[in-house]
Copies of this chain bind each other. A is one copy, B any other.
């Protein structure tokens, strides 16, 4: 892993909210990034599935990381949209994001979120958003 990619991973790990949830960058390269989150009861809503807010956190963060890798500097998520397609059950949540278009000042990225257990993996949400470069950070 390049020094830059290692710096991105470290920067994500340093987010207090990411620590509170327990997510981590599982893999990262120039084409795609994977953010993982082991499931636990604290991440659920009242019906026993992962809370939608957990899935939107994963999508938001994975989109941002993909944009950061693409544009090579400090970025932030300007906006995104997420569709929830299935209740999220399983032992681990996985967000896979990639860049669809990268310009000088912004990137458009997509992210699919999956719920995994020992036997299978199912798509639970899909997102699309805009990542912009931060000036002066």
Contacts and interface: CB of A to CB of B under 8 A. Distances in A.
Interface string A92-116: 0000000011010010101010000
Interface size class of A (residues with CB under 8 A): 35 or more
A137 B81 contact: no
A41 B17 CA distance: 8
Contacts of A9: none
A114 to B, nearest CB: 12
B42 A64 contact: no
A24 interface: no
Interface string A26-63: 00000000000000011111110001111011111100
A103 B15 CA distance: 26
A82 interface: yes
A58 to B, nearest CB: 8
A52 B64 contact: yes
Contacts of A79: 79, 81-84, 108, 130
Sorted nearest first, the 8 A-B pairs with minimum C-beta distance are A53-B57, A17-B51, A56-B56, A81-B81, A85-B101, A79-B83, A20-B42, A52-B60
Interface of A: 11-12, 14-21, 41-47, 51-54, 56-61, 64, 76-86, 100-101, 103, 106, 108, 110, 112, 123, 126, 128, 130, 137
